[in-house]
Amino acid sequence: PPNIMEKLESQFLQDKQERNTAMIDVLQHLTAIKNETTFGFEDMRGEFRSLFEAYDEKVSVYKTQVDNITTHLATSEEEINNRIIKTMEELERVQSEQEERLDTCRSEVNSLRTHITNLETPIIRLVNMSQQWPVPPSTCAATQVLTAASGSIAVVEAGKYDNNIDCEWIINLPAGNKILLKWIYIDMEIKDNCPYDYVTVKNLNTNQLEYG
């Protein structure tokens, strides 16, 4: 990282300046000794050589540290890249599994839709048949609402019925259906002491009398 390199460079420059200062001091010291005497010159050369060796050793240590830091940075970058690659591979795997599940769900929904569509025809046929089967007549028990496609009405299922009975049936079918009324039997009373029977048909949508 830049901060570590800057610190190392600053330390390196500081050490270099210290070395230069030390070298200047040594040279000044050697010059003074040379001026004073020629004895002990070899000892001073040995001391000077020791200073250079110490400097080279410190430089080697700093270089090793810089190499270690560079290697660590390269290793960290490789680890980060490997983690990113593994994460992307895992995301792709999960996405692929989700797409497979979605395709399976779509297939099941389409199969169910086809099954329901295939059932519509027999169900409609069964409903139509149930509406056309013979059923008992709707009697005059109360106001009756008829919704079947066909049927019959009667005051009573069999036998005689009481006098002064008003019966009412309401036929309720979807719009557009035509209603056909067919009288199989009706007995109109003609005796003087008996009010006559009657039938009226009224359109409740328009409130108009259609028959009677």
Q: Name which of 142, 141, 137 is nearest 157 in CA terms.
A: 137
Query: What's the rounded Cα separation, in Å, for the pair 98 and 101?
Result: 5
pLDDT of residue 205: 85
Cβ-count burial 143-178 (b if 16+ within 10 Å, e if not): eeebeeeebeeeeeeeeeeeeeeebeeebeeeeeee
How far is it, in rounded angstroms, from Cα 199 to Cα 185? 12
144-146 vs 169-171, strand pairing mode: parallel
Residue type, 17: Q
- The predicted pLDDT at position 3 comes to 64
The whole-number pLDDT of residue 133 equals 45
Residues 6+ apart with CB under 8 A from 15: 55, 58, 59
Q: Report residue 173 CA to chain centroid gap.
A: 45
The answer to whether the beta carbons of residues 27 and 51 sit under 8 Å apart is no
Residue-level pLDDT at 90? 85
Orientation angle between helical segments 41-132 and 2-36, nearest 10 degrees: 180
What CA–CA distances, in Å, run from 138 to 44, 165, 169?
Answer: 139, 15, 8
Spatial separation of the C-alpha atoms in residues 135 and 157, rounded to whole Å: 12
Query: Distance (Å, rounded) from C-alpha 188 to C-alpha 23?
Result: 148
Q: Report which of 160, 152, 162, 156 is spatially closest to residue 140, judged by C-alpha positions.
A: 156
Residue ranges of the chain with pLDDT lower than 50? 129-133
